[in-house]
Amino acid sequence: MTVTIKDIAQAAGVSITTVSRVLSNKDSFYSEKTARKVKKTAEKLGYQKNTAAAELATQKSKAIGVVINSTQTNFSNSIIEGIQQEANQRDLSAIIVFAGVGDAQMQRRAIQTVIERSVMGILLLSVDISADDLTLLKQAQIPYISLSQAFTDDQISYISSDDFDIGYQATKYLINKGHRKIGLAGIDIQKNAMTGRNRQSGYEKALMEAGIESSNKWIQYGDYSYNSGVMAMKNYGKSPEITAVVAASDMVGIGILNQAHDYGVDVPKDLSIISIDGTDLCKIVQPQLTSVTQAFFEMGIEGVRALTNEKTTEFTNIKIEERDSVKTV
Co-location of 38 and 83 in the same domain: no
Co-location of 143 and 266 in the same domain: no
CATH code of the domain covering residue 229: 3.40.50.2300
Please report whether residue 310 resides in a domain: no
Antiparallel, parallel or unpaired: β 272-277 and 290-294: parallel
CB neighbour burial string for 25-40, b if at least 16 within 10 angstroms, e if fewer: eeeeebeeebbebbbe
Please report whether residue 245 resides in a domain: yes
Please report whether residue 177 resides in a domain: yes
Q: Is the pLDDT of residue 179 over 80?
A: yes
Using an 8 Å Cβ cutoff, are 149 and 160 in contact?
Answer: yes
Co-location of 191 and 121 in the same domain: no
Angle at alpha carbon of residue 190, lines to 151 and 182, rounded to 5°: 95
Q: Is the pLDDT of residue 231 over 90?
A: yes
The pLDDT score that the predictor gives to residue 200 is 96
Co-location of 188 and 275 in the same domain: yes
Beta bridge partners of 220: 185
Please report whether residue 309 resides in a domain: no
Co-location of 109 and 199 in the same domain: no
Please report whether residue 213 resides in a domain: yes
User: How far, in Å, CA of 310 to CA of 91, rounded?
Assistant: 16
AA identity, residue 94 = A
Number of separate domains in the chain: 3
The pLDDT score that the predictor gives to residue 58 is 45
Please report, rounded to a whole number, the percentage of residues in the chain having pLDDT higher than 90. Answer: 61
Of 136-140, 142-146, 221-225, the least confident: 136-140
Q: Which of 159, 182, 203 is the last residue of a domain?
A: 159
Of 30-44, 51-65, 143-157, 220-234, the least confident: 51-65
Co-location of 11 and 79 in the same domain: no
Q: Is the pLDDT of residue 126 over 90?
A: no
Please report whether residue 303 resides in a domain: no
Co-location of 82 and 39 in the same domain: no
Co-location of 113 and 222 in the same domain: no
Please report whether residue 316 resides in a domain: no
Q: Is the pLDDT of residue 191 over 70?
A: no
- Residue 154, CA atoms < 13 Å, CB-side half-sphere: 0
Co-location of 139 and 167 in the same domain: no
Co-location of 42 and 91 in the same domain: no
Given pLDDT bands bounded at 50, 70 and 90, which one contains residue 56? very low
Q: What Å distances lie between residue 270 and 242, 245, 255, 261, 329, CA to CA?
A: 9, 11, 16, 11, 10
Of 134-143, 189-198, 284-293, the least confident: 189-198
Co-location of 169 and 290 in the same domain: yes
What is the extent of the structural domain holding 167? 163-294
* Element of type H or E holding 173: helix 163-176
Which pTM value belongs to this model? 0.80
Please report whether residue 302 resides in a domain: no
Other CB atoms within 10 A of residue 212 CB: 17
Co-location of 199 and 275 in the same domain: yes
